[in-house]
Amino acid sequence: MNYLDHAATTPMRPEALAAWTAAHALAGNPSSLHAGGRRARRVVEESRESLATQLGCRPSELVFTGGGTESDNLALKGLYWARRADDPRRRRVLVSAVEHHAVLDPAHWLGQTQDATVELLPVDETGLVRPETLAAALADGPDGPDDVALVSVMWANNEVGTVQPVAELAAACHVHGIPFHTDAVQAFGQVPVSFAESGVDAMTVTAHKIGGPVGIGALVLRRGLTVTALTHGGGQERDVRSGTLDTAGAAAFAAAASAAVRDLPAEARRLAALRDGLVRQVLARVPTAVLNGAAPGPSRLPGNAHLSFPGCEGDSLLMLLDARGIECSTGSACTSGVARPSHVLLAMGTGEETARGSLRFSFGHTSTEADVAAVAEAIAPVHERASRAGELLLPHRSASDDLT
């Protein structure tokens, strides 16, 4: 198999697997006072310190969670509730139109059930939120920026790989004392990420995107920032996130982060070369294909190649490639069995037909030139077959769209 879906999840690194296995051999709850509990606690705290070093934050600012989705929910809901309790006028929640659903869905839930006013920040044709766009949105409320509860803009987009100017966006919020959260799940391990240097107030990361295990993540919270807890029980993690700590997960997360940050400069160059080779060969074989997102360079994740194939259905392309042993993903979400175009591409101004026919190829630490060669060999016949299928489906699809 040629695995090109590292943005979804990436295989565990050997260092992480070794740390995970060793920690699993320990018996003891990190909250217990006996010797076994203290040994487990030491592993957790040493892992916290190591991970904090890689993230550019203080260990006391790092809250372990069950993953990126939990961290995003804790950030949005916890900040909103805390800010509303302090000042009831703070009802506005500003998030970019291209966020992952782990941010969009809790934001809309706040709007539907918690009296929030949710505003989607528009993006340009590359998926970028411009600082002047955010500044204008902050000033546009009934009470100006005084009624804004929080702002959330991802560090890098999970679909098209565009890297956002998070430091500038955070600075625009801080002029008015508004907390700024960023989902850095895709960015951490692919581009330099420093919590302190960026100036953000809350940051989401997760282990399984960098070669750690599924099931553990973290939310980094600036000291002094008040967040209302979602879960209550044992009072772990500064009473922000109750629940028994995952000792083995923390150890593996820290080991994966150390390896990812250590290798980042060389690995970023290697992945960018693989990505550029794939894009070049795909465009040579399918001239009508379009590269989405920012141009290759510092404004784009090195391991991301997101392409649209007009006249094709992304699902058809994906399954045809899968039959040839190539695993990637589409740019569309599936709701109740109905394929819909990517909200990210639509927000960027891409037409619905083009947005339907998109694929994301994402590279990681196990990627090789063989993966690029496999795509280059397969893409022309796969595209031809998907195009023929698209021509047959077009009348039916148009009629269906009229009914929705």
Statement to judge: residues 234 and 345 lie in one domain? no
Residue 12: partners with Cβ closer than 8 Å, 6 or more residues away = 20, 211, 212, 213, 252, 256
Statement to judge: residues 183 and 58 lie in one domain? yes
In order of 23, 150, 222, 276, 281, the CA distances from 79 in angstroms are 33, 7, 12, 40, 46
Please state, in angstroms and rounded to a whole number, the distance separating the CA atoms of residues 181 and 116.
Answer: 17
- For all residues of the chain together, what is the average pLDDT? 94
Sign, CA dihedral 144-136-225-37, equals positive
Q: How many CB atoms lie within 10 A of CB 25?
A: 7
Q: Is the distance from CB of 98 to CB of 154 less than 8 angstroms?
A: yes
List 173, 312, 328, 334, catalytic entry: 334
Please state, in angstroms and rounded to a whole number, the distance separating the CA atoms of residues 214 and 99.
Answer: 21
User: In this model, does residue 336 exceed pLDDT 60?
Assistant: no
Whole-model pTM: value is: 0.94
Q: Which of 259, 275, 310 finishes a domain? A: 259
Statement to judge: residues 206 and 277 lie in one domain? no
Residue identified by tokens 């879960």 is 231
329 pLDDT band, cuts 50/70/90, is very high
Q: Is the distance from CB of 221 to CB of 227 less than 8 angstroms?
A: yes
Give the structural domain span for 160.
Answer: 14-259
392 pLDDT band, cuts 50/70/90, is low
Residue 222: partners with Cβ closer than 8 Å, 6 or more residues away = 61, 179, 200, 201, 202
Statement to judge: residues 227 and 331 lie in one domain? no
User: In this model, does residue 207 exceed pLDDT 80?
Assistant: yes
3-state secondary structure at position 391 = helix
pLDDT in tens, 49-64: 999 999 999 999 999 9
Number of domains in the chain: 2
Statement to judge: residues 269 and 383 lie in one domain? yes
328 assigned to active site: no
* H or E element, residue 202: strand 202-206
pLDDT in tens, 113-165: 999 999 999 999 999 999 999 999 999 988 899 999 999 999 999 999 999 99
Statement to judge: residues 362 and 232 lie in one domain? no
